[in-house]
A = this chain, B = another copy of it.
Amino acid sequence: MNALVLRAQWQPRDADGAVAEGRGSSGIRVASRGSRAWREPKITLEQRADPSPAADEVVIRVRAVGICGSDLHFAERDPDGYMLYPGMVGTPVVTGHEFSGVVEAVGSEVRDLVVGDAVCAEEIAWCGECFACRSGRPNNCTRLEELGFTFDGAHAEFVATRARYCWSLAPLFEAGFPADRAFELGALVEPTAVAYIGLFVSAGGFQPGSRVGVVGAGPIGLAAIALARASGAGRILAFEVSDGRRGLARKVGADEAYDPSALGSEGIATQARESSRGKGLDVWVEASGAAGVTEQMASTLAPGGRLVLLGRGPHRVDLDPEWLIVRSASMHGSIGHSGSGAFGRVIDLMAAGRLPMADIISRRVDLKGGLALLDGTPRRESGKTIIRP
């Protein structure tokens, strides 16, 4: 089969012992922190053997697969030639983890899926056995693997993964979506579920009628906006520097969309106060990973307000504890998309026509077209690029 494969050289940085070397379940070498160990990364279009399913796996013919920000960071290099992506990643590995497709083969122990089923799948390969997993917290699994990071992903014609990570797309077909649209929506379930877990599981949801703000309108921020809109937000403010993305923010549900770079210093806080007539926001979602932003959000929470941290970056937050204390407010970190039935709930909301996530797709390409975007100098799109292998 054709597949996009990430390759790099193992050169842990001299003065830095912070990277751990491990082995993925498929046997590849894995760095705990890619940017500290992988040099001269490159993505190429290769011929690979078609996967066959282990006993608890299915093989899926990929119909749609997104390009994620982390995929872009795989082949981007810093001045020393190291990979930009800072998280856990192995090579050589087929990239791609936001996908959907059709079950092509099933392993001997698979009970819930049959050949021909339309599915999408979680990226997180939680173990199901550790304390976190047994406590209903698969996103905090202590030995998780990641599809497209530590074992072969879905920028390919076929991908193999455990049946237990797959979710049926039948509700989309039953709701009458054409197949192409159903598979595209299926490929968007993963980033949407990240925002769903953040808003409704990690932060415990919000009272309908609440004022919600979202900083950063990449796919996850856009998903947070769409979910907030579908779930009873009274008013939604979006903050995003890209003009195109502000347009998408409005399209999926933001009532107001601002360019923070045009608002001046502390502009997010000032605007939040103004839009809320000084009351502050009930929910803030940090989806930019940018520095200097969380402070403004934390200082403008309404009494009992909740700030959800989704965006990741190397910055620190200069937090005045009084912001939280005086308002009895809280900050909630969140990671992952698994557990709590989130994938199923997102699919049901999409099937009901209440999550217009397909509106954020700005480009559709084949594997070759995907390669052009992933290797060399990636160009950021306002919206989501979908590869149809």
Contact = CB atoms under 8 A, between A and B. Distances in A.
Q: How many copies does the complex hold?
A: 4
A128 B341 contact: no
Interface string A135-149: 111011001000000
Given A200-B207, A234-B348, A345-B209, A323 B328 contact: no
Given A227-B208, A330-B330, A325 B345 contact: no
Contact of A333 (B202, B211, B327, B351): B327
Contacts of A286: 321
B352 A234 contact: yes
A365 interface: no
A14 interface: no
A18 B364 CA distance: 54
B207 A134 contact: no
Given A303-B132, A309-B321, A344-B131, A230 B207 contact: no
A137 B210 CA distance: 16
Contacts of A255: 352
Contacts of A309: 321, 324-325
Contacts of A163: 129
A32 B333 CA distance: 33
Contacts of A330: 202-203, 330-333
Contacts of A131: 279, 341, 344
Contacts of A231: 208, 231-232
Interface in A320-377: 320-336, 338-341, 344-349, 351-352, 354
Nearest to A122: B134
Given A200-B208, A230-B232, A340 B140 contact: no
Nearest to A110: B129
A251 interface: no
Interface string A204-232: 11011111000000000000000100111
Contacts of A135: 303-304, 339-341, 344
A303 B129 contact: no
A316 interface: yes
Interface string A100-137: 00000000000110000000000000001111101111
Q: Which 3 A-B pairs have the closest CB atoms?
A: A324-B333, A136-B136, A209-B345
Interface of A: 111-112, 128-132, 134-137, 139-140, 143, 163-164, 196, 200, 202-205, 207-211, 227, 230-232, 234-235, 255, 279, 286, 294, 303-304, 309-310, 312-313, 315-336, 338-341, 344-349, 351-352, 354
12 contacts: A134-B164, A136-B136, A136-B137, A136-B339, A196-B208, A230-B232, A286-B321, A310-B325, A316-B318, A317-B317, A317-B318, A327-B333
